[in-house]
Structure 1
């Protein structure tokens, strides 16, 4: 599904004068950081949609001929920096008209509410509470461009805090928030045998880390190692048919976690892509990982014991094979050692470290890590 950034104009992209009407070229000035941030947001798979209320445009109080020169100058300046809006929505009514097309009403947004767009993954960016209320009405997430204290007060007075994902007066922070917003997901998987919920933030910024419950205590312990050594925030809630055996729970947790990783990576722009070997007492584990989009799996590890804790050792291979297929990656695992507990834990820790390396952002670059330009 498509995604959109619905962006306010006055006070958000260009500065709003005291009379709240930009009706001459002399009044045109960009909000600091807006141009560079908008340029940084291109290429992330969002449609850029300008959405603005222009009180009385076309009437004697705001003639058309005074509006368009400054507006077109703004657009041409942005185009010169590689920023082009896919759509422009301009409401001309006055506030007292109570027109359904006026923000926060959704009357202008009909083409975006028909099911073609994933509005839950879209954002409304603006400097007024009406923009945040629009986000709520659309089912999108709001970003308020305002000083934090002032913005929080505005949201509290309007009862709109629940619809706002970020309050900041920095366009650079907005751009970075939206970029890393791709890296946080919640995936649900329900079958006749299992019900799984996985929440994952690849940047470790979630408020849910450590909430892991699968009914298999050793698996919980291993997933906690992935979170800790992978530098990710991870929550897993799994209910499976453990009265039959452990297979379905292990398999479906792996599938759901793999899908979460794949979804959280988004376009994969800026990641290292490749990832780690580590020793653990008598054991050593080697994990080679490539998020190139091609699926291949190699396993070279043997266990002497039938179980480690409450998990059959035969399921470790199946867990990582299922995760590999769901995450659409190339995964090679080998391990040596005498202690099966240490061997299993070394594998999970090495995978976590490989994951941490592979999904890490490379400085400030957001290039696709492939000579093909796509993964």
Structure 2
């Protein structure tokens, strides 16, 4: 439904304003905006979203919750948001108590039937934002995605990132008889990496990929370390490559590669490739990377000892070969030096920096004359 409008159905208490312990904002001293809500909603409005407030207000208009107690804080909320360029297409308030069983009360869609009958908005691009399970049920009833906020969910910064940045996110789980691996990446969000594999030095190297690659990286791995390190290292590489490939989607807009250094794939004559050369004390590494869709790996160098910490150095080139297999990348990696610790670390940093350049967004054009990568 190209060009169809997109709508955010937003809960009030616990989403736009903080919800007090008694779950009733009936005095001005209880009024407090949620953190970052204004900046996030401004981003959503700028991205073309219409806003609809949908809220259950138990017993509004009764003696336990007089209309006048609700009206002041509600008017203040709308006034503050309006002053910042944030306006609601509609404000829909259900006044019933839960025991009444009215379909106008969330997760019922009674207040939203006119949207169900309207084909002029995109269900795929729209969302319900709430802080309770009933909001997620409402989303399912409307046929849109539900985003949960608060202590059990997301922040407004995270919601705006998800809705407005078209983030390239993927989660992969790889379970075999030898390992259980979970990897999550967000290519458009820089965050401190979180890595747990049971191999301390390998954790440190994987952290380099997220940190210097410029993307959020989470890896949890449980492997048969009582046998040896091979399966854990290999399967982490395979799962990470798969996650990166999924997050890239159709690869439109990516940098793919940089200057005129050449890396040749199995069926490639020449290809421009990201070229990164990094030093670390006496050691240096060069990484040439092309997100070509063709797995190919060439390694040049030798390590002066068999282990660094709990990582066998023979598994370093094997890690990158396995990464290329599932990522679909051509990688030429060369390392020189005398200190094995420095040499291994600069390999991971060089590949990470090459990934940073190749993954960067430059527009929406597919960087290939073949029409696919």
TM-score by length of 2: 0.59
Deviation at 1:262, TM superposition (A): 0.7
- The CA distance in 1 between the partners of 2:172 and 2:129, in whole Å, is 32
Alignment check: 8 A CA contact 1:124 1:131 kept: no
Aligned-residue CA RMSD (Å): 4.1
- The CA distance in 2 between the partners of 1:329 and 1:357, in whole Å, is 14
- The CA distance in 1 between the partners of 2:45 and 2:196, in whole Å, is 45
- The CA distance in 2 between the partners of 1:230 and 1:316, in whole Å, is 18
1:266 and 2:270 correspond: no
What's the counterpart of residue 241 of structure 1?
A: 224
Deviation at 1:161, TM superposition (A): 6.1
Deviations 1:61-109 (A, max 9, x none): xxxxxxxxxxxxxxxxxxxxxxxxxxxxxxxxxxx9959886868x979
What's the counterpart of residue 291 of structure 2?
A: 291
Alignment check: 8 A CA contact 1:124 1:135 kept: no
What's the counterpart of residue 316 of structure 1?
A: 316
Deviations 1:215-246 (A, max 9, x none): 11110010111121111111111100000011
- The CA distance in 2 between the partners of 1:127 and 1:313, in whole Å, is 48
1:222 and 2:205 correspond: yes
- Aligned pair count reads 262
Deviation at 1:302, TM superposition (A): 1.2
What's the counterpart of residue 126 of structure 2?
A: 124
Equivalent residue of 1:335, what SS?
Answer: strand
TM-score by length of 1: 0.58
Deviation at 1:259, TM superposition (A): 0.8
What's the counterpart of residue 370 of structure 1?
A: 368
In structure 2, do the counterparts of structure 1 residues 372 and 280 end up closer, same or farther at CA, with 3 Å as the change threshold?
same
Higher alpha-carbon deviation: 247-256 or 220-229: 220-229
- The CA distance in 2 between the partners of 1:97 and 1:139, in whole Å, is 20
- The CA distance in 2 between the partners of 1:197 and 1:128, in whole Å, is 28
1:190 and 2:175 correspond: yes
Equivalent residue of 2:369, what SS?
Answer: coil
What's the counterpart of residue 303 of structure 2?
A: 303
In structure 2, do the counterparts of structure 1 residues 269 and 244 end up closer, same or farther at CA, with 3 Å as the change threshold?
same
Equivalent residue of 2:126, what SS?
Answer: strand
What's the counterpart of residue 201 of structure 1?
A: 186
Equivalent residue of 1:203, what SS?
Answer: coil
Deviation at 1:254, TM superposition (A): 0.4
Higher alpha-carbon deviation: 301-310 or 344-353: 301-310
- The CA distance in 1 between the partners of 2:308 and 2:8, in whole Å, is 60
Deviation at 1:297, TM superposition (A): 1.3
In structure 2, do the counterparts of structure 1 residues 300 and 194 end up closer, same or farther at CA, with 3 Å as the change threshold?
same
Deviations 1:188-232 (A, max 9, x none): 1111110111121112345xx332110111100101111211111
Correspondence for 1:135 among 136, 139, 144: 139
Structure with the largest fraction of helix = 1
Deviation at 1:142, TM superposition (A): 3.8
Alignment check: 8 A CA contact 1:103 1:131 kept: no
5+ unaligned residues in a row in structure 1: which ranges? 12-31, 42-95, 110-118, 144-154
1:252 and 2:246 correspond: no
Alignment check: 8 A CA contact 1:8 1:131 kept: no
What's the counterpart of residue 19 of structure 1?
A: none
Alignment check: 8 A CA contact 1:104 1:137 kept: no
